[in-house]
Amino acid sequence: MPLIHYSPILLMPRARTRYIAVLKNPVEQTFFQDKTGALIYCNIYTEVGTDKELVQCEVCDLYFPLQGDRSTSNLRIHWGSLECGKEKERRDKEKLNACLLSKI
Ligand SMILES: [Zn+2]
């Protein structure tokens, strides 16, 4: 069977950078309003090896870079989106696999 799902060209539009990040020390927080107007607070992380500031989606664990003015629009757009649901599924599967592997 052709491995068409793994073609980098097909994956490109949805591919997200996988950041390795650590929590800022001291902890800093920012927030945004979700679609219902509720305030969502999130911790600010920095990418390991750079000073890039990131926020993490609580639902699926993806990191999003903060914009220049510390705007969280990347995360706000992502929050509750189809992509978020898919990422969560993928992450849950990975966790399950890791858990199963650790029992071998
Ligand atoms: Zn998400």
> How many whole angstroms from 40 Cα to the centroid of ligand 1?
13
Condensed to tens digits (0 to 9), the pLDDT of residues 6-25 reads: 544 444 455 678 899 999 99
The tokens for 8 are 């980098």
- Residue 76 pLDDT: 93
> How many whole angstroms from 42 Cα to the centroid of ligand 1?
12
pTM: 0.76
> How many whole angstroms from 89 Cα to the centroid of ligand 1?
10
Phi-psi region of 49 (alpha: psi -120 to 50; beta: other; left: phi over 0): left
Q: Nearest Cα to 54, choosing from 87, 6, 21, 97?
A: 21
Percent of the chain with pLDDT over 90: 67
- Residue 11 pLDDT: 45
> How many whole angstroms from 84 Cα to the centroid of ligand 1?
4
Residue environment code for 1-39, b if the CB has 16+ CB neighbours within 10 A, otherwise e: eeeeeeeeeeeeeeeeeebebeeeeeeeebebeeeeeee
> How many whole angstroms from 31 Cα to the centroid of ligand 1?
15
